[in-house]
Amino acid sequence: MNAQQSQAQTQVSPARIRVFDTTLRDGEQSPGCSMTPPQKLVMARALADLGVDVIETGFPASSQSDREAMALIAREIREPTLAVLSRCLQADIDISLRSLEAAAKPRLHVFLSTSPLHREHKLRMSRGQVLERVVQSIRYAKQHIDDIEFSTEDGTRTEEDFLHEIVGVAIAAGATTINIPDTVGFTTPEEIRGIFQRLIAQVPGADKVIFSAHCHNDLGLAVANTLAAIEGGARQVECTINGIGERAGNCALEEIVMALKVRNAFFEADTGIDTRRLVPTSQLLQRLIGMPVQRNKAVVGSNAFAHESGIHQHGMLRHRGTYEIMRPQDVGWPDTQMVLGRHSGRAAVEQRLRALGYYLEEAELDMVFADFKALCEQQRVVTDADLQHLMQDTGDGEGYRLASMTVSDVGQGASATVELSDPDGRRVAETAKGDGPVDALFAALSAATGVQLSLESYQVHSVGLGTDARGEASLSVRHGEDEYEGTGTSRDIIEASALAWLDVANRLLRQRRATGNSEQLATA
């Protein structure tokens, strides 16, 4: 056997980590995050598409709404396991079992507090009584269902000898998954890693069950503690989309999944999640519950792949890996954002101008960059429209300018007349008809410039308030096989629409001149 064959035989396959999503149960318990049964069904569809292994749909004994949601979800969602939470009480278990009857892959999740604080002040039960209740509940449930998960509520603050004892009796009674929750987010990575290592090594029957971690974020350690639990042997993680949940929330699904994916070689573990659906799923939940995530939220926050610092932008333009450890497309973002602001440098401004179709000489770029820096002192972010205005102010003549226009919408249809100044300074005027004023306007602009664009979408909205209010038009058009977006701003919406159309037409003209492309712009 050669060295290469020997190395191949000793390589360890990555551990498969099951993702138990509790957005619809523990996540929904977060103040202000409740969902109706139809909303839960919409979210459950997204979770199934995301590829989670287990969806915890609710706590049936706590509300009629949770029972209705489970019924809706069970009729449609067939691939992931569907779990419901239940106290270790026969009446609760009976209600939960009835709610699981329609599920293709049902799981009963029972729990009981185990820490001395909870035993004394919440349950008013002794160790022996807690052990007896757990055994009775799991044995009773086992008569009706095979897949049973048992959780030691406040497990990380439970005496370790008692934690070992109760996990042992739960396994003997028939539990198939053992969950150790850090219910109040109190533990540390080193502590929880040790808890799992010792449980798995010392409790009889531990090799016959899956160990799970359920971490809360009260000290901001939920993801770190969950990763440490995996290092300790946990093979299921309990988490929520956007990290919603009681108090400071739960371990965020998108963060734990991407930590395992990006650092796969370190953790030697991975999930079955389709990471490209993380951002769409996050945004769906935000719409359903009306709770946005902070801009700097890892993975799904709007700033997660945004760069404004000139040093960072320069590095990103040279090599993406300088400041990004994962691709935005891998989690569902369309691309990296180069945010232009007062920290941005020449390289980022030049790159954005090229994307807009402006190819400048050094002297021209120096002048535009100086104006850009001056503008940054007046506003936080400089948009593409702002750059367009800067180019107009610096006397860029490579494009058509709107001199005047007249639009009428009477009788059988609308008509528009436009007068433009072409790139050489000559006046061009054309008139066209259309189904409406904007359609006629675009037809007249096409006739005047010789540029044929196919309109895909068109929107107008107001920018600013009171006397400073302006109309902004944005459109998406197709030219050949490529799609372009244009914007225009004016106090008049129709004029803003004309400027948005010319924004795209002028960009195409500049690109053609810069590349020496002789393709006719009249080609649709």
**Torsion sign across C-alpha atoms 71, 74, 80, 86:** positive
Decide: helix, strand or coil at residue 182.
strand
State which amino acid sits at residue 342: R
Q: Give Cβ neighbours of residue 449 (< 8 Å, ≥ 6 apart).
A: 400, 420, 422, 428, 502, 505, 521
Range list of H helices, 377-474:
384-393, 437-449
- Phi, psi for 406 (deg, rounded to 5): -135, 125
CB atoms within 10 A of CB 258: 23
- The SS3 call for residue 414 is strand
Which are the contacts of 225, defined by CB distance < 8 A and separation ≥ 6?
Answer: 182, 185, 187, 188, 189, 192, 213, 215, 251
DSSP character at residue 355: H
Distance of alpha carbon 150 from the chain centroid: 31
CB 109 within 8 A of CB 84: yes
Which residues contribute to the annotated binding site for Mn(2+)? 26, 214, 216, 250
Give dist(CA 157, CA 182) in Å, integer. 8
CB neighbours of 311 closer than 8 A, spacing ≥ 6? 345
Q: Which of 53, 1, 49 is nearest to 22 (CA)?
A: 53
- Distances in Å between the Cα of 147 and the Cα atoms of 138, 246, 272, 298, 403 are 11, 26, 20, 34, 74
**In this structure, what token pair is assigned to residue 442?**
């675009």
Binding residues: 26, 214, 216, 250
CA distances from 118 to 201, 213, 312 (A): 26, 19, 50
The answer to whether the CB of 56 falls within 8 A of the CB of 69 is no
